[in-house]
Structure 1
């Protein structure tokens, strides 16, 4: 009997661009892209209309792709309070939609996500995008960066959620790549 994949919806919250990415992750930690996109709202709209657009977009992704769990980027303090407020509002909407569908939701910090997918918690956006393309066997990195970040969140959550399948490596693919490179360098 084959163990089913875990379907994770990753959400990179933002008011203007809210990245959404859905992946299926097998017990051996291999992953497959299901959906990637961005929910957009115009800065010219009133805040309540913008939040409604984000909620409707996330609801549509959940309804169509039926994830098992939702992973959202944890809001952290930035220098720009206006930006933090919009991100926090979009994050709240994402968590609310997960609750509306009865889905488990989790939050992950940007450094957790970067470390999970690249092996380095301070990786830049280009490194995250390149690794996401590699891990999901895509021809090119997902654009814009919000979309790649959403996929990274989904992968991070699946890999950090619990133990891998029996006999599978407990390391994430990024950690395995680093370990393999270190072994090769020592030879």
Structure 2
């Protein structure tokens, strides 16, 4: 399957039933296969499988690179398609999981860091993932933060003016550059 969507509904039974009917109609309109957990233990098994997604991917290759990019909910399908295209374009394996409800996706690249050619393709794939997220009005991160490794992409999201302001602000409060020197390209 191209995608698996786990949906959990809770609340007042009448509202839950109405929401379930609406969700079922939507899934059926896209020819989705719907499986309903009929007990708490069955539901728990499904969510446990989701929690095991990363460790399952990690068994495939020696190196796992977990990324974090977020797009508006309405653009999740376009981002998923972009990630699939990036995977094919660079001949890399990407398993994506995340939180469709807030658009936060975790493209997870399964690779081998000892393979220099593959790591070159992985780097290009990561570049393309972040550019795709920004092109879809998204952000470089939804949960994991920017950090040192994503700093080079920050100007693409915030713009040169904001980065310039950040540099001036840092210079104003840390003229000797002793607080996190050489971090975030500031």
Q: Which has the higher strand share?
A: 1
The TM-score, its normalising length taken from structure 2, stands at: 0.26
Relative to its length, the structure with more helix (as a share) is 2
Please report the TM-score for the alignment, with normalisation by the length of structure 1.
0.26
Larger radius of gyration: 2
Higher relative contact order (CA 8 A, sep 6+): 1
